[in-house]
Structure formats: C-alpha cells, structure tokens
Amino acid sequence: MYQIRHTAAKGLGVFATRNIPRGSRILSEKPVFLVKSEKDVYNAFRSLHEQDRNELMQLSVSSQRRSNLLGWAEGLWHASRQALSGGLVVARGDSQTKTRLPDLYSITEYPAVLNVFRNNNFDIGNGTQAIFKDICRLNHACIPNAQGNFNSNLDRFTIHALRPISEDEEITLSYLAEHGASRDARQHRLKSNYGFPCDCPACDSTTERGKLDEEARQKMQSRLHSYAQSVSEHDCPDQAAELEIMNQMIEMREEQGLAGRELATMCFSAAELAAKIGRRDVALKLANKGLRLDEDAVGTDNPIFEESQARVRAMAIV
Ligand SMILES: C[S@@+](CC[C@H](N)C(=O)[O-])C[C@H]1O[C@@H](n2cnc3c(N)ncnc32)[C@H](O)[C@@H]1O
C-alpha cells in the first residue's frame, strides 16, 4: 500500500502505491524501542541488536537541533555518569583497583543517537516516546492526510488515512498536537521543536490555498477572542452562543480538510454541550460525526474508539 522514497526537498517520505480509501489502516508497526525519558535513550539504543542499531542510525537527523559543541558536552556528561555508576576509580597504584575511564566512543556516539532520537521520536501517550523504522519516514503536513495513534490492543502504532489518498500521493502526518494555530505559530513550533521550516502547502503563502487557509484561521481566532472577551464581561456564559462557536470551529476545520481525533474530540465536547441545553438533534449529529472521525483515525479495534462510544452513550441521546 505504501513505499518509502525520496521527496523533492524533505529527504525520504512515504508514498501511496495505490488509491487508499478514507479510514484505511496504511501501516501498523511495533516500536524499535520505547522510553519514558531522554536519559534512557542511549541505554535503550545500546541494548538493541547490531543490525537494529545500524538501521536506526540511518534515520534522518537535524543539523539545526544542537551545535556540535553542545552534543559533545552531553556525550561527555553521559560517559562520565556511566563511568561513575560503574565505579570509576582513577589508578592509585593499587593493583586491586579497577580503573574505568569514560568511553570515548560513547562520547561521540551519544549525541549522534540523541540527534536521531530527537528528530524521529513519536509521543505515543502516557509519557512514552517511541522510535519506528517505517513510521519515522512520514513527513509532516499542517493539513495531513493521515494520522498515527497507538493501539494498546495490538501493541502497535497505526497510521490511518483521514481522507481518500491517491496513488503516488505522499502520506503525511501532523507532528503538532494543535492543528488550528496560525502559520507563524506553527512554523515557530516546528522550527524550535523539530528543527525544520515547514514547506507544506498550507504554509505556502504564495498560493491561493495557503492564503485562504491562513485567512480562515485568523478569522476563527478573532471570533474566539471576541467570544472570550464577552464571557469575561458576563457572569453567566451563554451556552447557546458557545455551542454556535464550537460548531463554527468544527465546520471551519472540515472545510480546511482537517479530520482526525482532535476534531472528533471537539465534536464530542460540542455534543455534550448540545445535550445539556436540550438540543438532542444537534447532539446526535455531532456525536455521530465524532464517532465516524474516530473510527477513521483509529479503527474499531482500538480501545480509544470504545472509550468514545462510551462517552456518547453517557450523553443519553440515543
Ligand atoms: C521524522 S523525519 C521524516 C522523514 C525524513 N524526511 C527522512 O528522510 O527520514 C523528520 C524530518 O523530515 C523533514 N521534514 C518532515 N516534514 C517536513 C516538512 N513539512 N517540511 C520540511 N521538512 C520536513 C525534516 O528534515 C524533519 O527533521
């Protein structure tokens, strides 16, 4: 269904080898390793088989992430800590005393491993970060056509198509948790967190598509801002007006081509509010839309989908 090959300007990428319908599971992969904290990365890496280590070091790295000097400082710090925990005692002329000096190889390898990790790790929830062989080749787009989620039933990370993807089209994910941000905010986050300036179509301010997308985001932000201001001026927020704004946000995102779990969650929140103010028809429509988006993004075998179904049942609208 997919192949990994070179893109024009983003290094490698993942491409569809046939037309892929919305909701299809494109990829399902077990992580090469999982860590809870960056300080565990090097040890996790060293515990892999040599072939896995070599493959991992082929993943892309960012030149902007860390200066060489900083990387070396981190490596030296790591090697010294390892040596100390292994009982470093510098020779005292006592033949019984073990001498273990920092391993020079790990001083240089450590920053290289960390650079690969920082450029490729995926947050799979519960404070866990994972590295995958194929999934790490997926490039970012601010309006992605696919989404990744961890499936704890399968113990795998899955990638699902959020809309129909054509043969030969690049398959993309959003690396950002929040999709509604303005172009400047997205560019800033991608540059500072991932080290690259995004060149996706939504970020291209020279095209009609890029301009319209940015205008829609700015409009929604000013709408939200004026609503927040009016709420702060009144003691009792108008829930019907709140529902109206939520609906507008959902519609705007759909028009932009955004889908996935973030939008599903917005639909469930709006459905709960609609049910609360007695708008059962609106609540039902929103809840069903949320379930459809969730099913497409994660699949019915994912516990996330079961949780969403339970959330809708709790609204007591069906
Ligand atoms: C997780 S890797 C993705 C796969 C990578 N292209 C490769 O060759 O292995 C992330 C790196 O891909 C590049 N990249 C991903 N999305 C991009 C985008 N929208 N614009 C520019 N570069 C991007 C950046 O170099 C980024 O550091």
- The predicted-structure confidence for 5-29, as pLDDT tens digits, reads as follows 999 989 999 999 999 999 999 999 9
| H or E stretch covering 250 | helix 239-256
pLDDT of residue 33: 92
HSE-up of residue 36 (Cα within 13 Å, Cβ side): 1
198 lines ligand 1 (CB under 6 A): yes
Amino acid symbol at 232: S
What CA–CA distance (Å, rounded) separates 184 from 241?
Answer: 29
Give the residue, out of 2, 10, 190, with the most ligand 1 atoms within 8 A of its beta carbon, to mutate for a pocket test: 10
3-class secondary-structure state, position 150? strand
* Average pLDDT rounded to a whole number, residues 167-187: 92
Class of residue 284 by CB neighbours under 10 A (exposed 0-12, middle 13-18, buried 19+):
middle
pLDDT tens, position by position, 132-154: 999 999 999 999 999 999 999 99
Instruction: Give 199 Cα–ligand 1 centroid separation in angstroms.
Output: 10
pLDDT of residue 198: 93
Nearest to 175 by CA among 156, 163, 152, 193: 193
Given phi > 0 = left and psi -120 to 50 = alpha, else beta, which region is 11? left
CB contact set of 255 (below 8 Å; sequence gap of 6+)? 216
Residue in the block written with tokens 């929040």:
178
Given phi > 0 = left and psi -120 to 50 = alpha, else beta, which region is 303? alpha
Tell me the domains of the chain and their CATH numbers: 2-82+103-171 (2.170.270.10), 238-316 (no CATH)
Q: How confident is the model at residue 197 (pLDDT cuts 50, 70, 90)?
A: very high
ipTM above 0.90, yes or no: yes
The atom number, within ligand 1, closest to the CA of 62 reads: 27
194 lines ligand 1 (CB under 6 A): yes
Copy the structure tokens of residue 197: 């300036």
Average pLDDT, the chain: 87
Extended beta strands in the chain, E state? 2-6, 12-16, 25-29, 33-35, 122-123, 129-131, 139-140, 146-151, 156-161, 170-173
Q: How confident is the model at residue 233 (pLDDT cuts 50, 70, 90)?
A: confident
Instruction: Give 115 Cα–ligand 1 centroid separation in angstroms.
Output: 13
Copy the structure tokens of residue 56: 């991992």
* CB of 233 closer than 8 Å to CB of 206: no
106 lines ligand 1 (CB under 6 A): no
pLDDT tens, position by position, 257-297: 999 999 999 999 999 999 999 999 999 999 999 999 999 99
Give the residue, out of 15, 32, 60, 120, with the most ligand 1 atoms within 8 A of its beta carbon, to mutate for a pocket test: 60
* CB of 318 closer than 8 Å to CB of 284: yes
pLDDT of residue 90: 38
Residue in the block written with tokens 């450029």:
119
CB contact set of 5 (below 8 Å; sequence gap of 6+)? 12, 13, 15
Q: How confident is the model at residue 85 (pLDDT cuts 50, 70, 90)?
A: low
Instruction: Give 177 Cα–ligand 1 centroid separation in angstroms.
Output: 17
305 lines ligand 1 (CB under 6 A): no
In the predicted structure, residue 318 carries a pLDDT above the cut 80:
no
201 lines ligand 1 (CB under 6 A): no
pTM: 0.86
* Ligand 1, atom 21, residue with closest C-alpha: 198
